[in-house]
Amino acid sequence: MKIGAQLYTVHDYTKTLEDLSLSLKKVADIGYKTVQVSGTCPFDPVWMRDELQKNGLQCVITHVAPAKIAEDPVQVVRDHAVFGCTHIGIGGMPTDMRGSVEGYERFSKIWIPIAEQIRDMGAKLHYHNHDWEFVDLEGKHLIDRIFEDFPEDSIDFTLDLGWAGFAGQDVVALINKLKGRLSHIHLKDYADKPADGSITTKAYLRPIYEGKLDYDAYIKALAAVGTEHMLVEQDNSYDEDPFDCLRRSYENVTKRFPEVK
């Protein structure tokens, strides 16, 4: 099992190719060997291949706009192959499909065939959750519907442990339930908001082990179910340097679990 950086953490520093190149170097200098490419400016696949190689990095998963995948999944898989990535993620269900069983049914009708097509090309589609996938929809959570309806070999879950915990889930039980479909997951932590009202985001996101979640238990559970890659994602660093937040998460995890480097 390896620890990597989700580049969305530093999305304010990846808006141009020059900044993206510098950000990849900074992430590598922290000690990360793997990344998830997400939330960046557009790039040519050959350019990304060369930048990753230059910095000794491997892109193990991405997030791609659902509309882009749906429009031409074959080209998306081919572009990923150029920079050596076979795991293609979507960051969540399209907004107009959320919040209802009818919306989910439209989502599954479109995306099950896409997931199967991506699988048949030798790649894998991944679904990333937030907290709203755990809201009850006529007796089931949305994430359970995806788990049950999509063929097991067609989709994995980029389970975001922070959002699952924020939604009140038993995260270890959820990890065990999704065993076999958790090759790549997100590490995210959060703390109680300061009483002064200075934090207005839904959750007060913190580096791993600087929040309230039980990451000792989570990482042990992930190792037991065969997770390969844990990507650190901190959507908001507030007034802190996001690269320093990535560094602290890396150091906090690898001090406790040196085998995940």
Q: What is the tens place of the pLDDT at every residue in 112-151?
A: 999 999 999 999 999 999 999 999 999 999 999 999 999 9
Checking if the pLDDT of 205 tops 90, the result is yes
Percent of the chain with pLDDT over 70: 100
Checking if the pLDDT of 259 tops 90, the result is yes
Confidence of residue 249 (pLDDT cuts 50, 70, 90): very high
Checking if the pLDDT of 81 tops 90, the result is yes
Checking if the pLDDT of 33 tops 90, the result is yes
| Pairwise CA distance, residues 237 & 22, whole Å | 19
Confidence of residue 258 (pLDDT cuts 50, 70, 90): very high
Smallest CA-to-CA distance from 159 within 137, 131, 135, 138 is with 131
pLDDT of res. 10: 98
Whole-model pTM? 0.97
Confidence of residue 261 (pLDDT cuts 50, 70, 90): confident
| Pairwise CA distance, residues 170 & 147, whole Å | 17
73-97 mean pLDDT: 97
Q: What is the residue-wise DSSP string for 114-163?
A: HHHHHHHTT-EEEEE--SGGGSEETTEEHHHHHHHHS-TTTEEEE-BHHH
